[in-house]
Amino acid sequence: MNTIRIAIAGPRGRMGREAVKLVQATDQFELAAVVDHKYDGLLLSELDGFSQVNVPIYTDLAKCLQESNADVLVDLTTPEVGMYHAKTALSYNVRPVVGTTGFSKEDLKELENICREKELGCIIAPNFAIGAVLMMKFSQMAAKYFQDVEIIELHHDQKLDAPSGTAVKTAEMIAEVRERKVQGHPNEKETLRGARGADLEGMHIHSVRLPGLIAHQQVLFGSDGQTLTIRHDSYHRGSFMSGVKIAVETVMKLDSFVYGLENILE
């Protein structure tokens, strides 16, 4: 396989740091540049914790893509900039692999259309952890037999978006197979607003934010006399990197848009 040149947006972040390590440790990957909103013109090696990483930092993504000759942009930033980054990368024929969460349905549709026009690969993955992808698949399997489901997602308290992209994606996958139902008592009333969580096609999603947590999700199914709980826990951000590696390798072979790692795992 040819070497894949990678630019990483958000290298100082918790996910970005792991992604820098992954690229450095992978033979067929080469870190071409990084994109940040500060430290323009410095080398990444001049920042704390990156002593051996001699790649330029750009604050201007367009300039970065023009000068770095990157094949893939890995974006691990914030929902506000993630969409701009993905669109800009595609406009320079650079394939985005986006882990940033919080994209709207309209954003995803827009990216899908750009990819179709340009016949270029792009992967948006709300969760790169293989175990989380299996949790979603198993939940979809269970939803054929259990119509009543509630999702509890638990994350660290610095997470910006709620509910998590994984929870939304899980509910959407369940909705594909679950007979539509509004759950709970038809006359149920919240005496404290938000007590029943968010509602996605009648399923309820609850978001927990606590220091100490990383990324966790529990999908609870209930029917007469039984419950089924499917749970996944990420204890360390390294848990996401095998998925990032697969996504980078796969996006180079794609000429279309993919949302969700489950669609590229065999």
For the CA atoms of the chain, what is the radius of gyration? Answer: 20
Which of 63, 87, 156, 159 does the annotation list as catalytic?
159
Binding ligand NAP (rule: CB under 6 A), the pick from 3, 14, 28, 195 is 14
What number of other Cβ atoms are within 10 A of residue 157's Cβ? Answer: 10
End-to-end CA gap in the chain: 19
Binding string, residues 119-158; x marks residues near ligand NAP by CB under 6 A: ------xxxx------------------------------
Task: Report the DSSP pairing between strands 148-155 and 198-200.
Answer: unpaired
Closer to ligand NAP by CB, 34 or 203: give it.
34
Distances (CA, A) of 11 to 33, 129, 252: 10, 19, 21
Binding string, residues 193-222; x marks residues near ligand NAP by CB under 6 A: ----------------------x-------
Closer to ligand NAP by CB, 129 or 219: give it.
129
Which of 85, 155, 204, 216 does the annotation list as catalytic?
155
The least CB distance from residue 164 to ligand NAP, in Å, is 7
Does 236 participate in binding ligand NAP (rule CB under 6 A)? no
Contacting ligand NAP within 27-46 (CB under 6 A): 35-37
DSSP 200-256: ETTEEEEEEE-TT--EEEEEEEEETTEEEEEEEEE-SGGGGHHHHHHHHHHHTT-SS
21 given a catalytic annotation:
no
The least CB distance from residue 128 to ligand NAP, in Å, is 4
CB 77 within 8 A of CB 258: no
HSE-up of residue 36 (Cα within 13 Å, Cβ side): 18
Q: Where are the beta strands (DSSP E) in 156-214?
A: 198-200, 203-209
159 given a catalytic annotation:
yes
The least CB distance from residue 74 to ligand NAP, in Å, is 10
Residues that bind ligand NAP (CB under 6 A): 9-10, 12-16, 35-37, 76-78, 81, 99-102, 125-128, 159, 215, 240
Active site residues: 155, 159
